[in-house]
Amino acid sequence: MLVFLTRRIVAGLVLIVVVSAVTFSLVYSDGERIARLILGPNADQAAVVQRAQELGLNEPLLVQFFVWFGNLLHGDLGRSFSNHRPVIETLVNRVPVTLALVGLTLLVTLIFAVIIGLLSAYKGGWVDSGLRTFGVFGFATPHFLLAIGLVVLFAITLGILPATGYIPPAKSPSGWIQSLILPVTALAIGTIASASQQVRGAVLDVMKQDYIRTLRSRGVPLRAIYLRHALKNASAPGLTTLGLQFVALLGGAVVIEQIFALPGIGSLVIVSALKSDIPIIMGTVLFLVVVVVIVNIVVDLAIAWANPKSRV
Amino acid sequence: MSGEPAALGTPELPTFIRQGTFRRLAKMPTVWIATVILFTALFFSFFGALLAPFDPNFTDLNMVNMAPFASDFLLGGDRAGRDIFSRLLVATSNTIGGAAIAVSISVAIGASIGLMAGYYGRVFDALGAWLSNLIQALPGIIVLIAVYVVAGPSTVTSMIVVGILIAPVYFRLMRNVVISVRNELYVDAARVSGLSDIRIMSRHIFVVVRAPIIIEMAYIAGIALVIQATLEFIGLGSPENPTWGGMLQDSFNALYISPFAILWPALSIILTVLAFVFLSNAVRDTLGDPRSSGGKARKAIVSTPDSRATADAGSTHAFLTVRDLSVAYPLSKNESRTVVNKVNLEVNRGEVLGLVGESGSGKTQTAFAILGLLPPEAIVDSGRIVLGSTPLLGLTEKKLNALRGSEIAYVPQEPMSNLDPAFTVGQQFGYAMRKKLGLSKAQSRERALSLLARVNINDPERVYDYYPHQLSGGMAQRVLIAIAVSCDPELLIADEPTTALDVTVQAEVLDLLRGLQQERSMALILVTHNFGVVADICDRVAVMKDGEIVETGDTRKIVKHPEHPYTQLLLSSVLDNVPMRAPLEPQAEVRA
Amino acid sequence: MSREATPLLQVKDLAVEYRSSGWRRPANRVLHNVSLDIHEGETLGLVGESGSGKTTLGRSILGLVPVASGQIIYDGRDITRARRRARRALAREIQVVFQDPYSSLNPSLLVSDILSEPLRAAGIGGAESRRRVRELLDRVGMPADASERYPVEFSGGQRQRIAIARALALEPRLIICDEPVSALDLSTQARVLDLLIDIQERTGVTLLVISHDLSVIRAVCHRVAVMFKGEIVEQGSTSSVINHPTQMYTKKLLLAAPVTDPDEQRERREARRLLAETEAVA
Q: Which of residues 247-286 of B touch A (CB under 8 A)?
A: 248, 252, 255-256, 259, 262, 266, 269-270, 273-274, 276-278, 281
Q: What is the pTM of this model?
A: 0.83
Look at residue C25 in the predicted model and tell me its pLDDT.
58
Q: Which residue type does B367 have?
A: A
Q: What pLDDT is recorded for position B314?
A: 44
Residues 6+ apart with CB under 8 A from A127: A119, A120
b/e burial code for range B56-79 (CB count within 10 A of at least 16 → b): beeebeebbbbebeeeebbbbbbe
Average the pLDDT over B45-62 and give the result: 79
Identity of the residue in A140, A211, A276 whose CB atom sits nearest the CB atom of B149: A276
ipTM reported for the complex, 2 dp: 0.88
Looking at A243-257, B284-298, C219-233, which range is the least confident one? B284-298
pLDDT above 50 (res B591): no
How high is the pLDDT of residue B305?
43
Over range C60-74, report the average pLDDT. Answer: 92
The answer to whether residues C78 and C129 touch, using CB atoms and an 8 Å cutoff, is no
Mean pLDDT to the nearest integer, C199-220 = 93
pLDDT at C21 over 70: no
Which of these ranges, A42-46, B395-399, C242-246, has the smallest mean pLDDT? A42-46
Mean pLDDT rounded to a whole number for chain A: 86
Give me the helix-helix angle, B155-182 and B112-120, nearest 10°.
Answer: 20
Please return the burial class of C169, using the count of CB atoms within 10 Å of its CB with bins 0-12, 13-18 and 19+: buried
Comparing CB atoms, the residue among B191, B574, B583 nearest residue C239 is B583
Tell me if C260 and B532 make a contact (CB, 8 A cut-off).
yes
* Predicted local distance difference test score (pLDDT) of residue C26: 67
- pLDDT above 60: residue B383: yes
**Which residues 6+ apart lie within 8 Å of C232 measured at CB?**
C34, C35, C36, C225, C226
Partners for A (CB, 8 Å, 3+ pairs)?
B
Lowest mean pLDDT among B152-156, B225-229, B348-352, C147-151: B152-156
**Mutant choice from B136, B145, B253, B413 vs A, greatest count of A C-beta within 10 A:** B145
Q: What is the pLDDT of residue A184?
A: 94
CA distance C131 to B56: 67
- The pLDDT of residue C24 is 55
Burial B99-137 (b: 16+ CB within 10 A, else e): bbbbbebbbebbbebbbbbbbeeeebbeebbebbebbbb
Domains and CATH numbers, chain A: 2-73 (no CATH), 91-311 (1.10.3720.10)
Query: Angle at Cα C160 formed by Cα C81 and Cα B208, nearest 5°?
Result: 70
Average pLDDT over residues B190-210: 83
pLDDT for res C22? 52
Give the residue-averaged pLDDT of C217-240.
94
Pick the more confident residue, C225 or A132: C225
What is the mean predicted confidence (pLDDT) over C133-159? 90
DSSP, res C276:
H
- For residue C18, the SS3 value is strand
Q: Which residues of A touch B283 (CB under 8 A)?
A: none
> How far apart, in Å, do the first and last CA atoms of chain B sit?
71
Flag whether pLDDT at B15 surpasses 60.
no
Does residue B69 surpass a pLDDT of 80?
no
User: In chain B, pLDDT over 90 holds for what percent of residues?
Assistant: 31
For the stretch C167-186, pLDDT in tens is 999 999 999 999 999 888 88
Residue C136, pLDDT above cutoff 50: yes
d(C-alpha C217, C-alpha C200), whole Å? 15
Distance CA B68, CA B85 (A): 10
pLDDT for res C232 = 94
Residues of chain B found within 8 Å of residue C216, distances taken between Cβ atoms: 575
**Rounded-to-integer distance, Cα A310 and Cα A302, Å:** 11
Each residue's pLDDT tens digit, C74-109: 998 999 888 888 888 899 999 999 988 888 998 888
Helix (H) or strand (E) holding C47: strand C43-47
> Which of the 8 DSSP states describes residue A42?
T
What share of chain A has pLDDT > 90, as a percent?
18
- Helix, strand, coil share (%) of chain A residues, nearest 5: 80, 0, 20
- DSSP class of residue A152 equals I
> Which residues in chain C are contacts of B191 at CB distance < 8 A?
62-64
Taking alpha carbons only, the member of A29, A34, A26 closest to residue A82 is A34
Q: Band of the pLDDT at B64, cuts 50, 70, 90?
A: confident
**Average confidence (pLDDT) over C56-83:** 91
Residue bearing the bigger pLDDT, A3 or B326: B326
- How many beta carbons lie within 10 A of that of residue C261, not counting itself? 18
Whole-number mean pLDDT of chain C? 89
Confidence of residue C69 (pLDDT cuts 50, 70, 90): very high
pLDDT at residue number B217: 87
Q: Are C55 and C253 in contact (CB under 8 A)?
A: no
Rounded Cα distance between B276 and A227, Å, is 34
DSSP of B325-387: EEEEEESSSS-EEEEEEEEEEEE-TT-EEEEE--TTSSHHHHHHHHHT---TT-EEEEEEEEE
Task: Report percent pLDDT > 70 for chain B.
Answer: 90
Contact (CB, 8 A) for B194 and C85:
no
* Per-residue pLDDT reduced to its tens digit, B430-457: 777 888 888 888 899 999 999 999 999 9
Alpha-carbon distance values, B7 to A134, A195, A196, B211, B285 (Å): 16, 8, 11, 20, 18
- Which H/E stretch holds residue C28? strand C28-38
CB atoms within 10 A of CB B424: 18
pLDDT of residue B8: 34
B179, B183, B185: which to substitute to probe chain C, counting the most C Cβ within 10 Å? B185
d(CA B486, CA B383): 30
Question: Per-residue pLDDT for B44 more than 60?
Answer: yes
The pLDDT tens digits of the residues spanning A52-88 come to 888 778 788 888 888 888 888 888 888 888 888 888 9
CB contact under 8 A, B581 and C197: yes
Beta bridge partners of C176: C96, C208
Interface subset of B 220-249, CB within 8 angstroms of A = 222, 226, 229-230, 233-236, 248
* pLDDT averaged over every residue in chain B: 83
User: Where would I find the H helices in B404-492?
Assistant: 425-436, 441-454, 460-464, 473-484
Average pLDDT on B125-151 reads 84
Identity of the residue in B199, B507, B576 whose CB atom sits nearest the CB atom of C272: B507
In angstroms, the CA A108 to CA C129 distance is: 64
Give me the pLDDT at residue C96, please.
94
Residue in C254, C210, C202 with CA at minimum distance from that of residue C194: C202
How many helices, marked H, and strands, marked E, lie in chain C? 10, 10
Q: Give the integer Cα–Cα distance in Å for C88 and B44.
A: 53
Per-residue model confidence (pLDDT) at position B288: 56
**Residue A169: helix, strand or coil by DSSP?**
coil
H/E stretch holding A92 reads: helix A87-123
CA separation for the pair B155, B231 (Å, rounded): 9
What single string gives the DSSP state of each residue in B61-75?
GGGTTPPTTSSSSTT
Categorize the per-residue pLDDT at B296 as very low, low, confident or very high, splitting at 50, 70 and 90. very low
